[in-house]
Structure 1
Amino acid sequence: MPKIRQVEIKSCRLETYSSKICVPLPAQNLPELLSVAQKLKELTPDLIEWRADYFSASDPKEIIAALEKLRAVIGDLPLIFTYRDYAEGGFVNLNLELRAAIIESVLKTGLIDLVDLEWQTKVQVREQLLQVARENKVSVILSYHDFQQTPANESIINILKAQQEAGADLAKIAVMPQQRYDVLRFMETVLYFNTHYAEIPVVAISMSPLGMISRMAGSLFGSAITFAVYGKESAPGQIPIEKLRPLLNLMSSP
């Protein structure tokens, strides 16, 4: 069995068989962003993800100004910055050059702890952003999404291996089940990867209500982060944080 390293983000330790709760923040304007952020802080999730692709501004300076205010509200809560590509479930359809410029500018601020980069981004752009993240001590989640199906077991393992070899701090894979068997097969395949190949923590999600069990059972098959919802969901099948927390506590009990 390989030794899987942990990722330390402020007071949050991300490790394979202990799911931490992250709540996405998909606000469309600054008042909403700060209002929801204040409420999220009171709910004390382990991490917050700012889904900046929902934000009305696409100018890097405006996004950084909003980020400064967001950080002032949430204090030391670990923060993931995500500007999701439209093809992978993002809210707006920006060209790659502008998206990359936004992400690179944010990486240099010192205001975020993790960044989510899509695995299927053009390799040259992805590698450049990985390098900027390293230079600015920002941990990297390389993420793969399939909103149509659950890939074959071998494909799932190969994707996670490739993300790991590319230099990710965490490898994320989110897939869509078409039947109950897909959910069980996916969790078993991720467990197999964790047992035989993993050197970094995995974030693994079977989406939609059908895959909801994967959001609760990360401590069983090995998913370091699970995404809850407060208000507006940013992906199908997310569970409200107030319902998810007791379920995770129950699942992780000896």
Structure 2
Amino acid sequence: MDSPQNILLASEGLRVGVDDVRRSSTLICAPIMAESVDKMVVDMGNAKALGADLVEIRLDHLKCFNCSEHLKILIKESPLPTLITYRPKWEGGQYDGDEKYRLDALRLAMELGADYIDVELQVAHAFIDSIYGKKPEKFKVIVSSHNYQETPSVEALGNLVARIQATGADIVKIATSALDITDVARIFHITVHSQVSTVPTIGLVMGERGLISRILCAKFGGYLTFGTLDSGIVSAPGQPTMKDILHLYNFRQIGTDTKVFGIIGKPVSHSKSPILHNKAFKSVGFNGVYVHLLVDDIANFLRSYSSVDFAGFSVTIPHKEAALKCCDEVDPVAKAIGAINCIIRRPTDGKLFGFNTDYVGAISAIEDGLKGSHNSGSLTVSPLAGRLFVVIGAGGAGKALAYGAKQKGARIAIANRTYDRARELADTIGGDALSLADLDNFHPEDGMILANTTSIGMQPKVDETPISKHALGSYSLVFDAVYTPKMTRLLKEAKEAGATVVSGLEMFIGQAYEQFERFTGLPAPKELFRKVMDGSL
């Protein structure tokens, strides 16, 4: 798989001022897709208020379009530079009429003062020839190619760029589809190399796996990215909102030397890690960006993004065990657990180091819930000592909690949907095993501790629970690693049964402290973390 590793720039200084002026020249364009001209005018005002640099006026979305009259209004009334697009159905748009009328409208937009027009590669040669000698000085023609099936090889993309440049394009635009997140590396390769050309390039990859192309284009030299006014109203699959681009990912502060971090998972869009880490990076002036990474094959991902610019990752379901095998070195505790949730890439040689911060965050939160000491370095006996600690799930998080509780002197029982996996972990760690179906009738003693480490009950399946309510009366404390929603059905029913409950949010914050410090080498802003997660910041 192609990798941009040879073309990315390593960072020297990692700190930037919190309120630095924009570091990237990449523009943010808001697509305007209303069905009426009046609504488009309103939306253009909203785009400016949200922080867009320009607007893309999608003429093909208008229900009623009077070419001369409406173009004059739209171009004159726009408070921002305008990009006029009249996308035909054969290139993924809405227009299904006469081709001459469509191209005449684009020519008229140029004459009426539009700043850019977008014309498709298929008709670009003839169109650009038709306006030869008539182009205003600052007017730019974007020639675009959309591939809704795949992302071609670097060689094929390079040939496509050359074909687009040969039309006389002022700006190249290539939009492809992501079958895998590693496809985006090929687009980065193209946009980085476009920096040596006189023709700027827009390179974007559609779909959730392509999201990083829309954020990291600011690092890899893309001319512009698209940000929607509202979530769900997109002109292409996978577009983030203006709000997220600017305030979640701190887009204006991303530059060529910005370090990239992210959460590797499947699914991953629910993760709050980007909110947490990006706010923390900004608060301490750290030159990094943290993104969602929808990864199917973690080994393939790490091979493709092997530059030291991809400096560290959080790892979540279902990759925690596979990630361990991808590391050059693994922390002894993580090795004993058999799973990691944090990878650091050493800047000097690119080697990968794996850690497990899950068990620290979870066990501390559970000990706090039991109102005991959680200082493992002291002589104080842990409140977990001697207690029966029942873990639901035998995956990476289950192993972490079982190992951490065992270290604190707890007796362990593993419950899993597949009994053989429960038995395997129980034998490794020294404990009992049972199937998930047996858990409802498991009552060897009162005052037990229950820890759910599976995704049961996570959004959107919030009505699910791993254990029936009647069985919860045997537990003095119930912990749920799920934190979306914060109060799962399991925790609600456990509270009603009289147990102390500990939300996965506590584990999440605890493990994030340590990850942040490993990512940055700086103390975690703990108060900020908690404010972000409780919604007060």
TM-score, normalization by structure 2: 0.40
**Cα distance in 1, alignment partners of residues 56 and 28 from structure 2:** 10
Kept in 1: contact 2:116–2:139 (CA 8 A): yes
Q: Given the superposition, is the C-alpha separation of residues 222 and 163 from structure 1 closer, same or farther in structure 2, using an over 3 Å criterion?
A: same
User: Is 2:62 the counterpart of 1:66?
Assistant: no
Distance, in Å, in 1 between the alignment partners of 2:63 and 2:128 is 24
How far did residue 242 of structure 1 move? 0.8
User: Per the alignment, do residues 216 and 64 of structure 1 end up closer, same or farther by CA in structure 2, a change over 3 Å counting?
Assistant: same
- SS for the counterpart of 2:135 is helix
Contact 2:125/2:168 (CA < 8 Å) preserved in 1? no
Q: CA deviation at 1:177?
A: 1.2
* Residue identity opposite 1:205 in structure 2: L
Matches within 5 A, 1:178-189: 178-189=179-190
Taking the aligned partners of 2:108 and 2:137, their CA distance within structure 1 comes to 11
C-alpha distance in 1, partners of 2:241/2:95?
24
Q: SS of 1:131's equivalent?
A: coil
Task: Report the CA distance shift for 1:132/1:57 in structure 2 as closer, same or farther (over 3 A).
Answer: farther
> Please, which runs of 5 or more residues in structure 2 have no aligned partner?
1-23, 259-286, 288-537
Task: Quote the residue 1:42 is aligned against.
Answer: 49
**AA of the residue aligned to 2:69:** A
Q: Percent identity?
A: 27
Cα distance per residue 1:189-235 (max 9 Å; x no partner): 432x325x522211110111110000001122220100010132111
CA separation of 1:219 and 1:94: change in aligned 2, threshold 3 A = same
| 1:108 corresponds to | 111
User: Greater CA radius of gyration, 1 or 2?
Assistant: 2
Q: Distance in 1 between matches of 2:68 and 2:34?
A: 15
Could you say if the C-alpha distance between residues 114 and 38 of structure 1 is closer, same or farther in structure 2, counting changes exceeding 3 Å? same
After superposition, the C-alpha distances for 1:18-53 in whole angstroms (9 at most, x for unaligned) are 311000101111222122122222223111110111
Partner of 2:95: 92
Distance 1:126 1:86, change over 3 A: farther
Indicate whether 1:227 and 2:229 are aligned. no
| Change over 3 Å in CA distance of 1:201–1:189 after alignment to 2 | closer
State the partner residue of 1:140. 141
Deviation, structure 1 residue 66: 2.2
CA separation of 1:120 and 1:33: change in aligned 2, threshold 3 A:
same
What corresponds to 1:51 in structure 2?
Answer: 58
Give, as a single letter, the amino acid of the residue that structure 2 aligns with 1:109. Answer: L
2:237 is paired with a residue of what secondary structure?
coil
Q: Matched residue of 2:123: which SS?
A: coil
Contact 1:27–1:33 under 8 Å retained in 2: yes
Q: Secondary structure at the match of 2:234?
A: coil
**Counterpart residue number, 2:214:** 215
SS at match of 1:150: coil
Change (3 A) 1:201 1:125: closer
Q: Does 1:154 align with 2:145?
A: no
Q: Distance in 2 between matches of 1:25 and 1:44?
A: 14
Rounded Cα–Cα distance in structure 2 between residues aligned with 1:121 and 1:185: 26
Change (3 A) 1:189 1:219: same
CA distance in 1, matches of 2:134, 2:158: 25
CA 42–132 in structure 1, closer or farther in 2 if over 3 Å, else same: farther
Equivalent residue number for residue 3 of structure 1: none
2:178 partner amino acid: P
C-alpha change, 1:70 and 1:189, in structure 2 (3 Å) is closer
Structure 1 runs of 4+ with >3 Å offset: none
> Within 2, Cα distance between the matches of 1:140 and 1:122?
9
Distance change (3 Å), C-alpha of 1:133 and 1:53:
farther
Q: Deviations over 1:114-164 (max 9, x none)?
A: 111111226324532x42762575211111111111112111111112222
- Cα 1:218–1:184 change in 2 (3 A) is same
1:82 aligns with 2:85: yes
| CA distance in 1: counterparts of 2:208 and 2:168, whole angstroms | 32
Structure 1 residue 250: Cα displacement: 4.1
Within 5 A, what are the aligned runs for 1:4-23? Answer: 18-23=25-30
CA contact (8 A) 1:19 1:224 kept: yes
Q: How many residues align?
A: 230
Q: 1:139 to 1:133 in 2, by over 3 A?
A: farther
Q: Flag the 1:159–1:70 CA change in 2: closer, same or farther, 3 A.
A: same
Does the 8 Å contact 2:31/2:228 carry over to 1?
Answer: yes
Instruction: Could you tell me which runs of 5 or more consecutive residues in structure 1 were left unpaired when the two chains were aligned.
Output: 1-16
Q: Is the 8 A contact 1:107 1:132 kept in 2?
A: no
Encode CA deviations 1:155-176: one digit per residue, 9 max, x unaligned.
Answer: 1111112222322111110000
Query: Would the aligned equivalents of 2:153 and 2:186 in 1 still touch at CA under 8 Å?
Result: no
CA distance 1:207–1:158, change in 2 (3 Å): same
Indicate how the Cα distance of structure 1 residues 187 and 136 shifts in structure 2: closer, same or farther if over 3 A, else same: closer
Aligned counterpart, 1:249: 252
CA deviation after TM superposition for structure 1 residue 188, in Å: 2.3
Q: Alpha carbons of 1:117 and 1:230: their partners in 2 closer, same or farther (altered >3 Å)?
A: same
* Shift of residue 238, structure 1, vs aligned partner: 0.6
Equivalent in the alignment of 1:173: 174
Aligned letter for 2:154? Answer: N
